[in-house]
Each structure stands twice: as structure tokens, then as C-alpha cells.
Structure 1
């Protein structure tokens, strides 16, 4: 019995590793197809849609589904990703300028820019998982992901920790990048965000039930 359970868990573990490696390669391939900047957003959207399907237990051919979602979400995903990329580039350039300047004011500016960058990174961790789960106007995704990041700080810290851990591991062992780093980050953050969103939806639904009950008319007893 224990042997069978161990074998099943081992199979599931290695199957997940293989799936993550395939996701990693697909993300890189389709990002390159999109000329890098124009491919990263749609590839990330397609990856998170695939992660959510796997988290829900939906069996679908990964490559075919990824390609379909990449091209199907090309415009909307770029409209979502490009402004975030632009802000990230501006923050990086300003931080580089102020952090290398002398004086108290430039150093304070560098600290402030770093804080804003961390907040942006936290909100960005929720951005495409939210896109994969909910149908919203494009302008709502960044606003709601930012609000979710602030209201669920514990989850945001976990996502930032995973991001930092993957970045550190990739910097230490660059050979991980072509095979696991990106896929592991997408899978880990996507899976966690899906759990966070599910818990939040359940909480909101539970809170709405008493409110609806209070709104019901009370029959008078003569």
C-alpha cells in the first residue's frame, strides 16, 4: 500500500517536472516568435491559462493549447503587459541614475523608487493569473491586482519570495533558465494565485449570503 502510494506520488512529481520543463520551453519559443517584447505578454498569458487548467485537473495538449491561447490573446495580453514593462524600464533607469548619484536626496529617491518597484512586482505577480481566471475590462486588471496585492500582503510576500528564490537560483545556476526557471516561476505563482483567488471568492460569497438573508422581508407574526 505504501509502495503504491509512493510510486503514485513519485510519478506525479516527475510528471509535473516534465510539464514545467515543457511550459518553460514553450514560453521561450513563443516569446522569441513575438520578437521578445511583443511575445512575452501573450506567452505569459498562455502559460497562466495552461497552469490554471492543470490546477483544475483539465487534461489538454499543452503545446496546442498554448499556441491557441498565445495567438488568441496576443492583442489583449500585449495591451496589458506593455505598460507594465514600460513602467518597469522607467523605474530601473531612474533607480540606476539616483543610486549612483551622491547626496541624500538621490539616495532617498533611490529608496523610494525601489519601494515602488517592489509594489509593482507584487501586483504583477497577480496580473496574468487574474487575467487567466476572470473576464474583466483591460483597465481593471492592473487596478484589481494592485488592490489584491495590498489586501493580501501575506500572499504577496510569498509570491515575491518565490520570485526572488527563482531569480537567485537562476543567477547561481544559469543552466536552469532554458529548462526550468521560467516554467517553475509561472507554475508556482500561477498555482498559488489560483488558490488565493478561490479562497477570496469563497470568502466574498460567504459574506454575501448573510447580507442577502438580512435583505429578505421578515414576515410579521400576528
Structure 2
């Protein structure tokens, strides 16, 4: 029997809290299983894939956990290719930004401007790439360009994502006890929910981004 009124809302709230806590536990455990370095990317891809399945109507917790695990296994190597590239670029940007920021004069200003631009592009990629990976079937390197294209095609979406993530950061700063239970899962839910409004109209998204549609979860359903 379907609950109505405040009982239905309470059940809906508890259901989502439980799911987010379970996904956070899975993300933490599978990240550790991959020795941190090799576990973050597949665990994050599995997180976005599972949340998209939930937003599309799949509400069975056991099935969602199974989808998470299967996605993690299938995407372990492909997603780590993206993860290693992100790690390398992030390290390069961080180290060189520190060097460039210590330079003076016109050359220092020009190089600083270049690296700030690179950092912004890198931020766009980090925010979007795993969402796009869960939705589109592309060559690995094209996901990086697609992440930038997606940000440019939907600038308000990107701004809203950044504002939302800043708010979550402030929330976690005030209540650090939330981080072990909802640190990654809540942020992933916010980003997935924001992008779901775009992905619902796949034809419009394709026209804006010129990307081929591919169903969520990359064919992984159980």
C-alpha cells in the first residue's frame, strides 16, 4: 500500500537518506578496494550510474547495490584511464601554477592568465566528465572535450553546479560529521539531479553538444 501525506514524505526522505548512506559506504569501500589510486574513478562512475538509475525510477535498494557493483567491475579499467589522465593533468597544473604564481612582470602575468584559464577548463572537466561517462558512449579522450562542450552549451547549469558544490562545502565545513555518511553521495546526487533535467530531453542535449546518446549505465542493469 502506497503511503500518502506526511507518512509518504517521511518514507521518501528516509529511503533517500538510506540510499545515500549505502552509496557512500560502497564508494568508500570500493575506493579502498582499488587501493585509493585505482578505486576512486570506477567507484565514482558507479555512483553516478546508480543515482541516474534511481532518478529514472529504479527504487529497489538491492538491485541498485547490484548495479553499483557490476558497474564498478565492468568500468574498472576504462574509468581508470580517465582517472589517471585527470590525476596527471591535475598534478601538472598544481605544480606549474605554484611556479608561475611566483614569477613577476609581464611574462609572469601572461603565464598566470594561461594557467588560470587551464585551471577553469580542468574544473569544468572534473565536474562533468563522470556524468557524461555514465550517459554517453565515446572514445576515452573525447570525454574531456565533451565535458568542456557541455559546460559551454549549458553555462547556467555549470554556474548552478559550482554554486551548489560551494554550498555543500560550507555545509560540510559546519557539520563535518556528515562527510563519512554523505560526503560524496550527496554531491553526486546534486550533480546528477541537475543534469537529469537536460538528459531527459536527449534530442535537445544532442543538438547542443553534438554527442551521441547512450543509455544510462552503459547497458548495465543487474
Report the TM-score when normalising by structure 1.
Answer: 0.81
Q: Which residue is 2:128 aligned to?
A: 126
Q: Which residue is 2:111 aligned to?
A: 109
Q: Which residue is 1:81 aligned to?
A: 83
Task: State how far apart, in whole Å, the 1-side matches of 2:16 and 2:112 are.
Answer: 40
Segment drifting more, 106-115 vs 146-155 = 106-115
Which sections of structure 1, spanning at least 5 residues, go unmatched?
208-222
Structure 1 residue 186 and structure 2 residue 185: aligned?
A: no
Segment drifting more, 187-196 vs 36-45 = 187-196
Q: 1:105 to 1:45 in 2, by over 3 A?
A: same
Q: Which residue is 1:147 aligned to?
A: 149
Residue aligned with 1:31, SS = helix
Q: 1:168 to 1:101 in 2, by over 3 A?
A: farther
Q: Which residue is 1:138 aligned to?
A: 140
Task: State how far apart, in whole Å, the 1-side matches of 2:205 and 2:29 are.
Answer: 39
Deviation of the 1:188 alpha carbon: 0.9
Q: Which structure would you say has the larger RCO, counting Cα contacts within 8 Å and 6 or more residues apart? A: 2
Deviation of the 1:107 alpha carbon: 5.1
Report the TM-score when normalising by structure 2.
Answer: 0.81
Q: Which residue is 1:58 aligned to?
A: 58
Higher helix fraction: Structure 1 or Structure 2?
1
CA displacement, residues 46-66 of structure 1 (integer Å, 9 cap, x when unaligned):
111101100101234233322
Contact 2:42 2:75 (C-alpha < 8 Å) held by counterparts: yes
Residues matched between the structures, number: 204
Contact 1:47 1:186 (C-alpha < 8 Å) held by counterparts: yes
Residue aligned with 1:37, SS = coil
Give the structure with higher Rg (CA).
Answer: 1
Deviation of the 1:15 alpha carbon: 1.5
CA displacement, residues 59-98 of structure 1 (integer Å, 9 cap, x when unaligned):
3423332221111110111112210121112112222333
Q: Considering only aligned residues, what root-mean-square deviation do their CA atoms show, in Å?
A: 2.4
Q: 1:205 to 1:64 in 2, by over 3 A?
A: closer
Contact 2:41 2:83 (C-alpha < 8 Å) held by counterparts: yes
Over 6 Å off, 4+ runs: none
Q: Which residue is 1:47 aligned to?
A: 47
Q: Which residue is 2:94 aligned to?
A: 92
